[in-house]
């Protein structure tokens, strides 16, 4: 899924350089999928289960925290591996940034990125507008329903677990749900699923709210307003404060909605963006820099 939809503004940069993060992400996403789908090796699966809960190499349990919480809200009490797995996932995304899950792991991202790419290619402009806050409402609903009904209601329709489980254990009619997500993203609301509705994404955003890993625009003075980054960004509203220094905002993209996909980093010909490590203050500056005041942005160019 290349970005031919955006203007190929710099023929001087090779394709791979303009897609280096994307390639890594696809490698990661498909690699994770492959680990679950590989035939049993040496007497056991490399990774067994699916994203809901898994066991890697018979030693590493990982459990989706949102699923575990839903299960507990129905009144169930998980086993130790479930708790350990959820704790590991929580720590991992709390450190790396919650929505890293969305752009680097989640298989639905392949579907919605494809929809967004096709949308750009076909120049589909028309689209409904819904609030990006709907996902928080849905997250509330997802947590409320188990409490009321005693069942994991969201799991009957959740496209994320549906797709990952389906690819490993058999889709059945789950492809219909994914097709619906695809068409919805393509024709109804741009980035409609991942950027507006998905409660799992909202949950991961909350988990990674204080993560010390950020995308930033340390060289924002160079920006020539080509809008490439806004075009490719799945959550374009997160860029503006950092890039345009709105209300004295620092260069760090501090919105919890940022999926840290790195598309803005690689797509920018002027190399405005980079990776920023450290705690961020409310003003969009890294804390340690705010303290040091003078030092120029100590940002590292991220090449993963």
Partner 1 sequence: MHRRDFLTGLARTAAGVGLMGLGLGLYSRRAASLPAWALRPPGALPEADFDGACIRCGLCVRDCPFDMLHLARLGQDIPTGTPYFVAREAGCEMCEDIPCVKACPTQALDHGLTDINDADMGLAVVSDQEACIAFQGLRCEVCFNICPIRGEAITLEYRRNTRSGKHALFIPVVHSDRCTGCGKCEEACILEEAAIKVLPRHLIQGKLGEHYRLGWDEQQRAGGALVTPDAEHRYNLPEGMRYDHGGEGLIEAPDDAPFSDNPLDTLNGGGAL
Q: Tell the residue number behind the tokens 């096709």, with chain if given.
A: 118
Closest CA to 191 of 267, 258, 115, 98: 115
Give which of 216, 212, 204, 304 is closest to 257, Cα–Cα: 204
Residue 108 binding partner 1, by CB under 8 A: no
Span 194-253, contacts to partner 1 by CB under 8 A: none
Ordered DSSP codes for 81-109: HHHHHHHHHHHHHHHH-TTHHHHHT-THH
Minimum separation from the CB atom of position 46 to partner 1 (A): 11
Q: Closest Cα partner for 242 from 297, 291, 302?
A: 297
Q: Which is nearer to partner 1, 24 or 188 (CB)?
A: 188
Cβ atoms 180, 158 nearer than 8 A:
no
Q: How many residues does the chain have?
A: 304
Q: Which stretch binds partner 1 (CB under 8 A): 92-100, 140-148, 217-225, 240-248?
A: 140-148
For the packed helices 108-122 and 159-169, what is the interaxial angle rounded to 10 degrees? 110
Residues 157-186, mask of contacts with partner 1 (x by CB under 8 A):
x---xx--xx-xxxxxxx-xx---------
Tell me how far, at minimum, the Cβ of 106 lies from partner 1, in Å: 16
d(CA 86, CA 64): 6
Task: Write down the least CB distance from residue 204 to partner 1, Å.
Answer: 16
CB-nearer residue toward partner 1: 82 or 218 = 82
Q: Binding pattern to partner 1, positions 67-106, x when CB under 8 A?
A: xx-xx--xxxxxx-xx--x---------------------
Among 1, 24, 37, 48, the residue binding partner 1 under the rule CB under 8 A is: 48
146 forms part of the interface with partner 1 (CB under 8 A): yes
**Pairwise CA distance, residues 215 & 259, whole Å:** 9
What is the separation, in whole angstroms, between the first and last Cα of the chain? Answer: 20
Which of 29, 53, 103, 259 binds partner 1 (CB under 8 A)? It is 53
The nearest distance, CB 202 to partner 1, in angstroms, is 13
Q: Which of residues 253-292 bind partner 1 (CB under 8 A)?
A: none
Selection from 260, 212, 270 nearest residue 239 by Cα: 260
Q: Does 57 bind partner 1 (CB under 8 A)?
A: no
Q: Provide the minimum distance between the beta carbon of 93 and partner 1 in the complex, in angstroms, as a whole number.
A: 18
Sorted by sequence, the CB contacts under 8 Å of residue 227 that are 6+ apart come out as none
Question: Rounded to whole angstroms, how far apart are CA atoms 245 and 223?
Answer: 12
Q: Which of residues 1-40 bind partner 1 (CB under 8 A)?
A: none
Q: How many chain residues are in contact with partner 1, going by CB under 8 A? A: 56
Q: Which residues bind partner 1 (CB under 8 A)?
A: 45, 48-50, 52-55, 61, 63-64, 67-68, 70-71, 74-79, 81-82, 85, 131, 134, 137-138, 140-141, 144-146, 148-157, 161-162, 165-166, 168-174, 176-177
């Amino acid at each position: 899924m290349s970005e031919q939809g955006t203007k190929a503004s710099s023929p001087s940069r090779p394709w791979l350089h303009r897609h280096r993060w994307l390639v890594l992400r696809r490698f990661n996403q498909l690699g994770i999928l492959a680990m679950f789908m590989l035939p049993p090796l040496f007497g056991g699966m490399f990774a067994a289960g699916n994203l809901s809960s898994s066991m890697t190499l018979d030693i590493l349990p990982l459990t989706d925290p949102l699923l575990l919480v839903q299960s507990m809200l129905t009144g169930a009490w998980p086993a130790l591996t479930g708790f350990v797995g959820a704790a590991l996932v929580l720590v991992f995304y709390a450190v790396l940034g919650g929505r890293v899950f969305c752009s680097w792991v989640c298989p639905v991202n392949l579907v919605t990125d494809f929809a967004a790419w096709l949308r750009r290619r076909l120049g589909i402009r028309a689209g409904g507008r819904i609030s990006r806050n709907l996902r928080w409402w849905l997250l509330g609903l997802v947590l409320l329903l188990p409490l009321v009904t005693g069942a994991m209601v969201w799991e009957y329709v959740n496209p994320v677990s549906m797709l990952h489980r389906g690819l490993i254990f058999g889709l059945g009619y789950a492809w219909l749900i994914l097709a619906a997500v695809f068409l919805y993203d393509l024709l109804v609301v741009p980035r409609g699923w991942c950027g507006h509705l998905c409660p799992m994404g909202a949950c991961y955003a909350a988990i990674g709210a204080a993560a010390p890993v950020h995308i930033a625009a340390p060289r924002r003075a160079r920006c020539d307003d080509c809008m490439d980054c806004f075009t490719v960004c799945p959550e374009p509203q997160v860029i503006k404060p950092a890039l345009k220094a709105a209300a004295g905002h620092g260069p760090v993209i501090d919105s919890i909605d940022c999926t840290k996909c790195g598309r803005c980093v690689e797509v920018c010909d002027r190399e405005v963006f980079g990776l920023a490590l450290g705690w961020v203050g409310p003003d969009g500056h890294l804390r340690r820099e705010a303290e040091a005041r003078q030092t120029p942005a100590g940002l590292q160019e991220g090449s993963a």
